[in-house]
Structure 1
Amino acid sequence: MTEAFARRLVQNRLIAWLIFFVVSTIAGIGLSRVSFDDDLRKAFRPRDDKEAKLIDRFPLSDNTFLILVQTREGGDFFEPETVGHLREFDFSLRETEGVERIGTIFDARSQTETEEGYFPPLMPAFDAKPEAFSKARDEALKHPAVRSVLLSPNAKSLLFLVDPLPDRTQARQLGPIVRDIQMHGETLAENAGLKVSVTGMPVLRTYVVNQSKKEQIIFSLGGLVIGTVIGWLVSRRWGTLAITFPVPALASAWSFGALGLYGYAINPMNNMISVLVMIISLTDSVHLIYGIRRHKAAGKSNPDAAAAGLAEVGPACLLTSITTAIAFASLGLSSNNMVAEFGIGCASGTLLAFVAVVTFIPLLASTWLGDHILPKNQSRDLANWTGFTRIAGAVASRPVTVSLAGIAATIAAGLLCTQLDSDYRYRENFDRDTVEWQAIATIDRDFGGSQPLHILIDPIPQENAGSPSEILPVLARVEQELRESGHSGEPFSLITILKGLRKDGQPGAFETLLEDAPEGSLAPLYHRESGASLVTAPLPDLGARALAPAIREIDSRLEKIEADFPGFSVSTAGVTAESILTSRSMISEIGISLFFAATFIFIIIGLALRSKSIGFRCLIPNLFPIAITGAALVVAGKPLQYISAITLTICLGVAVDDTIHFLFAYRKNRNKGLDPVSATRESTRTVGAALITSTAILISGFSLLQVSELPTVRLFSWLGIGTLFAALIADLLVLPALLLLGKKRD
């Protein structure tokens, strides 16, 4: 970016304002089209035929509320008064607005047939004789559709399953249902002396989304206050803050507008783009404002200082934006839509942040605000801190030692990172002591699992033209294989219902069931038009790392069933199976792309600076913070999660940003004729203030997140703090030392 161009941009403010209004107008159109989609299940839906069939035929298969009811010490579900309260709770759930169907113990039929050939309800009426309740208890513990499905083997836990209407998929739609169910649960707990916990995927998603929205407002305001205080303590002038702080918000709004223009819905992953854009734009803004201040201190007018600062720092901002955008754009090649949209959104947001920085900051700095950017007391200006000279001197006196230490630390941390394994648990957004976590743990223990694994059995029309009942042997075989695998809880299917009615194996029993069953009652298990059926078995929430081998083993067993029953397609399907099998690859995809992106970025840097050796030497300082943070995860015994992979992606952008600004300052000083030692010393002094200022503001903002109720947000916080601090050390110590190693060539 030449000084002539910078001067033309500043002197012709109409151009800058025109850019601002055009981009803002286009972004505004995009913002008007922005929609929100917090249904993370879509991230795990592959584009294949079996998944389309599952979604079309069994739309409620992965959106079920789990209501866990537990007895207190010495309590019993099968007491007349308790049964009465449970029945009232059952009625309340059925009448809840937004609920389509529920599955409870009150749906089960006794296996004892009356003289009239009628199977009465398993649960006796409120006014039944005492022995009827004892009999119901004994029968329930043997009932194939109740034991380990709705009632735990020790009869201390009871499950109520609630399916919302098919169109209730977003947190804002599920929230009222959650509140109503919790209210009914509180009434049951108070009246019957039972412990009631509401959990399941819709409850978890609703809590996370609502909590994130609430905390986002609090943290945004708190971060603004803390950032303002830190910024004022460093700059000592409100003019600097007035010029710098609007830019990140503007860039964030533009980036969201771009998502709207692309037709991307805002989801929990690409919502993090705003954080990335604000961080990168703040970092570049601080570097640019310090550049303008240097020229202002030299006695230049506001427009001249703004133009000179832009000419000095603008090229570094441009290279930063291009390299970072290319690195993020590589994620757009991902096979997963959500990751691809995240990468493209980050790339466009990075470029828009550059436009916001180079137009808005010089525009404001050239006005009367430019009179208020220099500290009144120059001795208290961070840019004049003598510590930078001492740091540069210490590095210059031992460049080999510092370089080897940085290289050794990066290699050692990188080796530790090879032990880092990715993992995903759907309850990772909860602390272990929360009601939701404990409820899931209890369901896993008492029922064998809390997340549904679906097996889709689909007749092949060309090979199967027989009776619908021909699917029964396939269902029975699937249940057998699931039990033998030992990876899931008790499977549930049409076979289970027939066993509950003591009609399994009877000729014509299946056809009779289809005729007599109330409309829609078999919909979660059987699709009448296609003849497809589901077998559902609960899987414990052990994490994708532990469950992926189990899913693969089950898949291999299902392949054998297909071979034995050639007229049927048999396969795992649904969010649970797909999230377990694809989440680790998604996380690893982001993590691996970091290192490839880092390598690619520094090739671009070497080409831009016309020095392959400099491009190679700046590789270590930018891998250093990522490797250190990854090693910290290994030492802490934590896997690589979505949030940690995204955090490292964001912080790579910051590390690259600071490195490029330092390298441009170094090249400028070398072109002035300074020797390498003097050039690194001067670069440390001029760039160091911006590095410390931006890092201090960002770390203070990340620190605020430690009070979040979501453990993933707290993880994001300390990873961000650690990575930024490591990046600061790398840029102030390791990078100058490595540059000095090649001083003869440079």
Structure 2
Amino acid sequence: MSDGQPPETQLADDDSPRPRLTTRWFYWWADHTWVQLSVFVVLSTLALIGYFRPSLIRDLFLAPDQQQEHRYYIDAGGRSRLNVTLASNATQSIPARPRPYVEPFRVSGGDCVLVATIPDDNELGFFNKENLQAIYSVADRLQELPQVHRVMWLDNIPGFNLFGLTGTLVPSPNASPRQLAEARKQVLDNPLAVGQLISADGKTLLMHVTIDWFFVDSDDAVTVALRQCAEQATAEVPGANIRYQVTGQVPLHLMVASNHVTDSVKYQLIGYSIMMVSAIVLFRGFAAVIIVALAPAVGVFWTMGMLHFFDLQDNPFNDIIVPVLISLVGLTDSVHLMVEIRHQRSTGLPTRQAARVGIARVGMACFLTSATTAIGFISLWWAHHVIVRDFGMCCVVGVVMTFVSVLTVTPLGCRSPLGRRLHIGMGKSLIDGQLRRIGPLVQWILRHDRKVSLAAILSTIVLVVIALQLTPDEKRYSGLSESGEAAIALRHLDRSLGGLDFGTVNVSWNKRSTEADVLQVLDRVGKILKDEPLIGNPLGMRQILDALPGSGDAAERMSLLDLLPPSLKRAFYDPEGRHAVVQFRIQDLGIAAYSDTFSRIEKELERVTNDYPGFGIALDGNAVWRWRNVFQIVTDLATSLGTASIVIWLVLTLVYRSLRIGLISIIPNVFPLAATGAMLVLTGQHLEMVTVCVFTICIGIAVDDTIHFLTRYQEEMRKGGDHQEVIRRAFTGVGSALLMTTIVLVAGMGSAIVGDSRDARLFGIMGCLTLTTALFADVILLPAMLSRFAKKNTAEST
């Protein structure tokens, strides 16, 4: 066999040579129903054990001291974390407790945040009699709730001792208009209040609520109940006009978790329903659709059950991305297999024999699609982040399970009573009619193969160059329902107070540094933060000292610290530990928006460190952590995607024993991903986890269709004939399946476009675009590339 000759897959008959080992193996599999039933029963039983009692199997392979329980959970920021609980006899190190200090005052940190808002037409904001009376009543009512441990708001801000208010910062509702105006000015001049607990216009006020979890019996107790309590208290004050919303770590976490569960179920049900209806319309045969749908459904069932044996069922990617991925891959192979079986049925073969021949002809292509997809996901095992590594493992398990399911459920379904109705609808498919219309287009493409091939190569290169401009990004709450109360309140805080999230600059110094040096460094840090437009309301010891009366040099100003209440002094300054903190607010605009900001801040802080050698200055906080680490997760996924593409190309080259065919396959596989990536760049999007996951899903679908086309092409090539006629026969053989799978999958993924969250809509739009361009590449570009560059192989074969 010369270079370029494909593996032999010709069927055995009286006049043909003996089929190769792989084809004989698929014949053997199709002939042994008892083996298929045994595999089905065993895997289904294992999956059921995995769902209800995985320890029965898992503990057989682990020693008692090796057993661990891994749990993924979504933290308050929506990030996925891995929590590992060691066995009881394992050694755990408990960090030493720091020496006790006075509890520092905090302007943040509550489990929940009650956001109170005054209408824009009220110039005084909260500083009138009715609204003040209402807000005092709300604070008292909230404190009376059993699930509320503490309410922290403006009234809890400590006074500046002799230099400021000696009592509460909030005026009495009975104060005169002049007193209210003076109190408003004092509040909005206080760095602990403005931009922290109240907006600069005095119309948005925050109450941080700490929860006593012993008394919490439902999610509503820490969300709806708080808002309703505030609304009831306000309603009892005539003339008060305040609107309330609840956000914060706990409500946002509950919203993320709720959306994570409900959206995964909702969109999967909607998507699968649309795919089912579309398949019924396209196949024009209910029996065929049921068999086609059962194969990927069983694959998903087996996969999700098997994941419990590895404690991977709670990986945040797995309960949404993995089922969608393996169901799409399984549906693609299942449709190709069913189209071939129905084609064999139309030649007069009985259903059982048609299934036998269909499996023998398409089985190898299904194996190749599963193998290339699995090999691509194996590259995730070398990622830096455990979540990404486990995601790759789950995808490999899912692809294997789905391949077995397709080759097991489909022949069993054909041998069941459903198989007797398999012929219904044959020849009446809507796709068959459209395929005849596309025929002249394919003929035109083959006549102009040089121009089409050149356009394909150049356009792919241009799209790749554009797509490479994508930069990583991650929004903390991008997956939230945009109509949810917690999300709406979060966006309002972005506008009015500079965000809900906090970052910090930690400053430490050695024994030789003086207090004057400390204040000078804090002054430099404050100016650096204040010069950044995306940084909101820096707050530290320097800002507090600036609010105190008097003047003098740095040493004199630092002496004023002794006059501050201990809780306020300890909030941002620890002289014994030689440590100070400057905090600032961050909006939920995405890490990409803050990338340049954080880079500039770190560069400026490094200059300060160089000017003051005895100091250590570090940028820290949740957003900074995501800036440094989430980029790595996204980069891991993107790198694995590129690695998968290269590995898939190598596999195709080896399988088809032709470097030329391998090179030709690059264009139809890269073009859809490059087109979608270019669309993201041109629309101002970034490379996020959701976008990389869509790429991961769609590359599997694109490669599947390419493999089915190339397999049929090389099969037709062995039959001989004019090369362009060979391509037309290959297109006729797989064209129906290509169109069917794309229409069905686009209809299913399109259901996410109407979703309420940005991630869901982006997932739907990208999926539809990638699948559509993949079909374009396989129907238009691939035939032209084969016609132009694969002629030498045909000559050798003939």
TM-score range, shorter chain: 0.7 to 0.9
Alignment pair present for 1:17 and 2:62: no
Alpha-carbon shift at residue 376 of structure 1 (Å): 4.9
The more displaced of 323-332 and 336-345 is 336-345
1:393-412 pair list within 5 angstroms: 393-412=443-462
Q: Which residue of 1 aligns with 2:75?
A: 39
Shift, 1:701, TM fit = 1.0
CA contact (8 A) 2:365 2:708 kept: yes
2:224 corresponding residue in structure 1: 179
Task: Report the AA paired with residue 276 of structure 1.
Answer: L
Q: Secondary structure at the match of 2:582?
A: strand
Paired residues of 2:50 and 2:305 also in contact (CA < 8 A): yes
Aligned to 2:267: 219
Report if the CA contact (8 A) 1:643-1:716 is conserved: yes
Q: Shift of the alpha carbon at 1:261?
A: 2.6
Q: Are 1:386 and 2:431 matched, yes or no?
A: no
Q: Which amino acid aligns with 1:178?
A: T
User: Structure 1 309/46 Cα, relative in aligned 2: closer, same or farther at 3 Å?
Assistant: closer
Q: Specify whether residues 262 and 152 from structure 1 end up closer, same or farther in structure 2 by C-alpha distance, changes over 3 A only.
A: same
CA, structure 1 residues 643+125, in 2 after alignment: closer, same or farther (shift >3 Å)?
A: same
Q: Which residue of 2 aligns with 1:310?
A: 359
User: After the TM superposition, which of the residue ranges 207-216 and 596-605 deviates more from structure 2?
Assistant: 207-216
Q: For residue 348 of structure 1, report the CA deviation from its aligned partner.
A: 2.4
Q: How far is 1:607 from its partner?
A: 0.6
Query: 1:475-494 residue pairs with structure 2 within 5 A?
Result: 478-479=525-526, 481-483=528-530, 487-493=534-540
Q: Deviations over 1:30-71 (max 9, x none)?
A: 434696623375858899xxxx99999999988854443232
**Mapping for residues 75-86 of structure 1, pairs under 5 Å:** 75-86=124-135
Hey, what's the Cα distance between the residues in 2 that align with 1:300 and 1:435? 61
Aligned to 2:372: 323
Does residue 455 (structure 1) correspond to residue 502 (structure 2)? The answer is: no
- How far did residue 225 of structure 1 move? 3.1
User: Who is 1:733 aligned against?
Assistant: 780
Deviation of 1:558 (Å): 4.0
Contact 1:60 / 1:166 at 8 angstroms: preserved in 2? no
Pairs aligned (count): 729
Task: State the alpha-carbon separation in 2 of the partners of residues 661 and 93 from structure 1.
Answer: 64
Matches within 5 A, 1:561-580: 570-580=617-627
User: Counterparts of 1:533 and 1:126 in 2: how far apart (Å)?
Assistant: 37
Match of 2:692 in 1: 645
2:744 maps to which of 689, 697, 702: 697
Residue 657 of structure 1 deviates from its aligned partner by 0.6
Between the aligned partners of 1:165 and 1:556, the Cα distance in structure 2 is 42
User: What residue number does 2:476 align with?
Assistant: 426
Aligned partners of 1:174 and 1:202 also within 8 Å = no
In structure 1, the partner of 2:394 is 345
Instruction: Go from structure 1 to structure 2 and tell me whether the alpha carbon gap of 1:636 and 1:487 turns closer, same or farther (over 3 Å shift).
Output: closer
Q: For the residues of structure 1 that align with 2:182 and 2:96, how far apart are their CA atoms?
A: 40
Instruction: Give the Cα separation in 2 of the matches to 1:13 and 1:562.
Output: 74
Name the CA shift for 1:106/1:259 in 2 (closer, same or farther; >3 Å): farther
Which of 588, 610, 629 matches 2:676? Answer: 629
SS in 2 for 1:423: coil
Counterpart contact for 1:97–1:177, Cα < 8 Å: no
Looking at structure 2, the residues matched to 55 and 656 of structure 1 have their Cα atoms a distance apart, in angstroms, of 55
**Residue-by-residue CA offset, 1:119-148 (whole Å, 9 max, x unaligned):** 312124445566554442232122231122
Task: Note if contact 1:93-1:102 (Cα within 8 Å) is conserved in structure 2.
Answer: yes
Name the residue aligned to 1:255.
Answer: 303
* Local SS of the residue matching 1:489: strand
Question: Are residue 335 (structure 1) and residue 346 (structure 2) matched?
Answer: no
- Residue 210 (str. 1) matches residue 258 (str. 2): yes
Q: What does 1:671-682 correspond to in 2, within 5 Å?
A: 671-682=718-729
1:713 maps to: 760
Counterpart CA distance in 2 for 1:636 and 1:390 is: 35
| Residue matched to 2:276 | 228
Could you list the per-position Cα deviations for residues 411-464 of structure 1 after superposition, in whole angstroms to 9, with x for gaps in the alignment? Answer: 2322322333333333434688886666445433443343211334578xxx77
Shift of 1:218: 3.5
Question: CA–CA distance in 2 between the matches of 1:471 and 1:235?
Answer: 76
Cα deviation for residue 252 of structure 1 reads 1.8
Counterpart of 1:513 in structure 2 is 566
Q: Distance in 1 between matches of 2:308 and 2:613?
A: 47
State the distance in 2 between where 1:688 and 1:62 align.
59
Q: 1:592-626: CA deviations, max 9, x gaps?
A: 54344223211210110101100100100111111
What corresponds to 2:334 in structure 1?
285
TM-superposition CA deviations, 1:539-595 (whole Å, max 9, x none): 233432231122123233444565677777542233211223343453344335434
Q: 1:617 to 1:102 in 2, by over 3 A?
A: farther
- How far 1:663 sits from its partner (Å)? 0.8
Q: 1:8 aligns with which of 11, 16, 28?
A: 28
Separation in 1, partners of 2:97, 2:626: 19
* Contact 1:544/1:581 (<8 A) preserved: no
Please give the root-mean-square deviation of Cα atoms over the aligned residues, in Å.
4.1
Of the three residues 103, 114, 120, the one matched with 2:167 is: 120
CA gap of 1:586–1:577, structure 2 versus 1, over 3 A, is same
Deviation string 1:90-116 (CA, Å, 9 cap, x unpaired) is 2344455665554310111343649xx
Q: Is the 8 A contact 2:284 2:428 kept in 1?
A: no
| Alignment-derived partner of residue 183 in structure 2 | 136
2:72–2:316: 8 Å Cα contact kept in structure 1?
A: no
Q: How does 1:458-477 map to 2 (within 5 A)?
A: none
| Aligned partners of 1:44 and 1:578 also within 8 Å | no
Residue 359, structure 1, aligned to residue 408, structure 2: yes
SS at match of 1:161: strand
| TM-score (norm: length of structure 2) | 0.80
Contact kept, 8 Å, 1:293 with 1:373, in 2: the verdict is yes
Amino acid at match of 1:11: D
- In the alignment, which residue of structure 2 is the partner of 1:372? 421
User: Percent sequence identity over matched residues?
Assistant: 28
Contact 2:342 2:426 in 1 (8 A): no
Q: Is 2:314 the partner of 1:275?
A: no
Residues 1:195 and 2:220 aligned together:
no
725-734 or 333-342, larger mean C-alpha shift: 333-342
Contact 1:287–1:313 (CA<8 Å) still a contact in 2? yes
**CA displacement at 1:665 relative to structure 2:** 0.8
Query: Which among 154, 159, 167 is matched to residue 201 of structure 2?
Result: 154
Q: 2:337·2:358 contact (CA, 8 Å) conserved in 1?
A: yes
Equivalent residue for 1:667, pick from 711, 714, 717: 714
1:371 deviation in Å? 1.8
Q: From 23, 27, 30, give the equivalent of 2:47.
A: 27
Amino acid at match of 2:190: H
* Counterpart in the other structure of 1:109: 158
The one of 91, 112, 137 equivalent to 2:140 is 91
How far 1:297 sits from its partner (Å)? 2.7
Task: Kindly indicate whether the alpha-carbon contact (under 8 Å) linking 1:44 and 1:579 is maintained by their aligned counterparts in 2.
Answer: no
Matched, 1:743 2:791: yes
Could you tell me how far 1:688 is from its partner in structure 2?
0.9
Counterpart Cα distance in 1 of 2:656 and 2:97: 55
Any conservation in 2 of the 1:456–1:533 contact (CA below 8 Å)? yes
Deviations 1:651-700, CA, capped at 9 Å, x for gaps:
11100011001111111111223442222111111111111111111111
Which whole-Å CA distance do the structure 2 matches of 1:407 and 1:546 have between them?
A: 34
Bigger mean CA offset, 334-343 vs 701-710: 334-343
Return 5+ residue gaps in structure 1 as ranges.
none
Contact conserved, 1:625 with 1:724, CA < 8 A, in 2? yes
